[in-house]
Chain A
Amino acid sequence: MSSLFVPDSAVRDEGGITDADLCAQFAAHAAHAKRRERKGQWHLLFILLFVLGPLVIYPLARLVMLSVTGTHGFTLHAYTAFFGNTQTRGMIGTTLGILFASASIASLLGVAIASMLFFRPFAGARLLTRFLELFVAFPSFLVAFTLIFLYGSQGSVSIGLQRLFSLDATPLDFLFGIGGVILAEVVFYAPFVVRPTLASYATLDMRLVEAARSLGAGGWMVATKVVLPLAWPGIAAGTILCFLLTLNEFGILLVLGSAHLITLPIAIYSAATVDLDLPTAAAGSVVMLLMSLSLYALYRRVNRRAGVR
């Protein structure tokens, strides 16, 4: 840097800068920039090998290796053991069913709530937005846990309904199963759609909306013809993120679904810690890893196009 800044007095003493001097300075500057670029590359390589290597790359490589090695070298035995089990036959179907049901309901609900908060704010909307931002700190298993107090067979809502209609038995008995898991995942992951959607709305040019209104467009037309096409990339990114997080969810499944519902994460967990069969668990993990990483790659693509970080 300092080579570019020759003190004025020195220049005057020599009676001006010649072309040769300038060329030399440019060459020196280019060489300096190139050196810095190469140094930056080495810096990145160092981080990749010594920080991210032990944290992420090495464990995942060991996981994949363990799933395909047996006592006599390469084998796919662990995969057949994991998926050939009659108990786990419908597991991937169940997992995907829960994923699609809860993530699509959560996305619709999240977009609806975000639209309401942005376009028709009511008293306390700001407070609710702040609250949804803090929801990150709320662990997912706690959501499942609180639902037991509300909708469990002895929960407030069940007892309230029983008293209201004077029934003999409690009317709600869905919590420890697929219904309860979907409810908990919708409650927990809808806020994750609200935030990117609100951020996407915040970049909208409101003059476009007002222009459409003044030209006589109704609320529905404004929403479908103006707002949605403009905010779509951000909403899509939020929705894919919601699918990714729902697929990776574990706490809710452990609290509400571990008894009756066999899903992929629960099967991996019990193979690893209950049966102590690490190769079989690794085989299930590799399949789940492939599903998650393809969704993750999709998310990165869409997010880059949306330009929202």
Chain B
Amino acid sequence: MQLSGSSRFTPGACLRLAITGFVALLCFWLFVLPVVVVALSSVASHWSGTILPDGVSTRWFARLSSSDLDALSTSLEVGVGVAFIGTALGLWLALALEGRDRRGLGALVDAVAMMGSGVPSVVLGLAVLIAYHKRPLDLSGSAAIVVLVQLALVLPFCYRCAAAALRPELTILREAAASLGAPPRMVLVRVVLPQLVPAIRASLALGFALSLGELGATLTVYPPGFATVPIVVVGQVNRGYYLPASALSLILLAVSLAALLLIAARAPRR
């Protein structure tokens, strides 16, 4: 696009270069620096009142207590459960709604399925707590209530992932298979699911990462003994234990980043 002006050092080109540099610096400052800070502070031996940490040590990782490790395993178990159930439900919803006109029952189901992304997490957590904390269905003593509330929040993203992958070409393929006499189950297993593998992987990764980082709803409903990593980290930050908190959050970040990179080579663009 820049046919002229880039080779000569006119004032306009200099200004443009300066603006570009400023934006690049701003982006780095705002978005890259936070990640660097978590990484740096978790290996700092001491960081207060200085520009850079005093020294390097791994003692914050070595000192992770058993309750920290419990939180980590709770987070991982809940995250895996939410990712798998959410992906299955999202896929089911997308297949059931595929090709339907966006009116009547179809529109209602679509709107309710996407509602989890529009409702504040604290409000949803409170609603789930009110609905399931005493009879007829009491889930308040088990991890099921945490999985339930995170499912409601993660389902819209998984549903969107699957729905975005059900393209018109795929409908043509399905109709071709069906017209050649393949029964519906065979069409699903041999034609549709193989085409959806990238979307399923993206949905698993997204569900897992979102579940690991979820705070508001989990904090409202979690039963004693089922604290997840975000809850422990926020508790430590509010009590002023910054460096142990960043060691734990670095592990959390590394796990969710690894999941995103391993499972989903590339998320579908929304």
Contacts and interface: CB of A to CB of B under 8 A. Distances in A.
B71 interface: no
Contacts of A281: 126
Interface in B11-49: 16, 20-21, 23-24, 26-27, 30-35, 37-38, 41, 47-49
Contacts of B106: 44
A113 to B, nearest CB: 6
Interface stretch (A19-27, A52-60, A79-87): A52-60
A55 B215 contact: no
B48 A154 contact: yes
A145 B240 CA distance: 11
Contact of B100 (A40, A132, A142, A145): A40
Interface stretch (A10-18, A224-232, A265-273): A265-273
B37 A146 contact: yes
Given A59-B124, A258-B238, A132 B31 contact: yes
Interface string B158-190: 001001100000000000001101000000000
Contacts of A116: 20, 23
Interface residues of B, number: 92
Interface string A111-134: 011001001101010001001111
Contact of B119 (A1, A199, A289): A289
Interface stretch (B55-63, B91-99, B192-200): B91-99
A178 interface: no
A148 B20 contact: no
Contact of B120 (A66, A119, A265): A265
Describe B's contact surface by its main secondary structure: helix
B164 A2 contact: no
Given A63-B130, A139-B230, A269-B220, A145 B118 contact: no
A156 to B, nearest CB: 5
Contacts of B118: 244, 248, 292-293, 295-296, 299
Contacts of B256: 137
B37 A250 contact: no
Interface in B104-130: 105-106, 108-109, 111-124, 126-130
A138 B130 contact: no
Contacts of A52: 109, 112-113
A145 B248 CA distance: 12
A107 to B, nearest CB: 14
A187 B96 contact: no
Contact of A288 (B21, B92, B108, B123): B123
Nearest to A148: B242
Given A137-B257, A149-B41, A51 B89 contact: yes
Contacts of B215: 139-141, 250-251, 254
B52 interface: yes
B237 interface: yes
A255 B93 CA distance: 36
Contact of B115 (A41, A159, A296, A309): A296
B69 interface: no
Interface in A240-298: 244, 247-248, 250-251, 254-255, 258, 265, 268-269, 272-273, 278, 281-282, 285, 288-289, 292-293, 295-296
A112 B237 CA distance: 33
A55 B116 CA distance: 9
B146 interface: no
A60 B206 CA distance: 25
A146 B93 contact: no
A116 B47 CA distance: 35
Q: Which 6 A-B pairs have the closest CB atoms?
A: A296-B118, A139-B213, A250-B216, A59-B127, A63-B127, A146-B34
Interface of B: 1, 16, 20-21, 23-24, 26-27, 30-35, 37-38, 41, 47-52, 89, 92-93, 96-97, 100, 102, 105-106, 108-109, 111-124, 126-132, 148, 151-152, 155, 160, 163-164, 178-179, 181, 206, 209-210, 212-216, 219-220, 230, 233-234, 237-238, 242, 245-246, 249, 252-253, 256-257, 260, 267, 269-270
